[in-house]
Copies of this chain bind each other. A is one copy, B any other.
Amino acid sequence: MKFCSHCGASVNQRIPSGDNRPRFVCDQCQAIHYQNPRIIAGCLPVHGEQVLLCKRAIEPRRGYWTLPAGFMENGETLAEAAARETWEEACAQVRALELYTLFDLPHIHQVYMFFRAELHEGAFGIGEESLEVRLFHEHEIPWSELAFPTIGRTLECFFADRKHRVFPVRNEAITRWQKPSPTA
């Protein structure tokens, strides 16, 4: 951030009076520009014994498998954001959404939240941001080709919890990204 989005003057980074953190401050109009973590909401769509994954058509991690997820927009709920992303990436309608995993990624100012969900009538397609979309049994999961640690951890929890049919909500921190390996 270099310029004030309210008045167009240059901003400076300093600790405002009464605060304890450096912020971008406009000395012309006095605006303080706060920067906060963003939410990524997604679904773990379940159909019988299978789960739905999407192969990413976009960077980062193009060609790797992910759960449908993306930035939550203003004006929607967490569950609405998760369902919208599932529709956009996998042309799939989901029902019975249940909050499941929350991951803190403090180093990149993000919080991921996944909902377990029923894939309506097992129907899906290939959204614009996906190269391929398909259902996987547990033994078919491409563990070494998952896009992000949040995806692998959500799937790992799900298959473990499914044995007991109890799905506690989990909040964990992931403090570093998995180092991306060259695209296969």
Q: Which residues of A contact B (CB under 8 A)?
A: 1-8, 10-11, 18, 21, 33-39, 71-80, 99, 102, 104, 106-107, 109, 111, 128, 168-169, 171, 173
Contact = CB atoms under 8 A, between A and B. Distances in A.
Nearest to A10: B8
Contacts of A11: 5
Contacts of A76: 104, 106
Nearest to A128: B18
Given A5-B5, A36-B38, 7 more contacts: A5-B33, A36-B73, A36-B74, A77-B104, A79-B104, A80-B106, A99-B169
B99 A78 contact: no
Contact of A6 (B3, B102, B128): B3
A171 B99 contact: yes
Contacts of A37: 39, 72-74
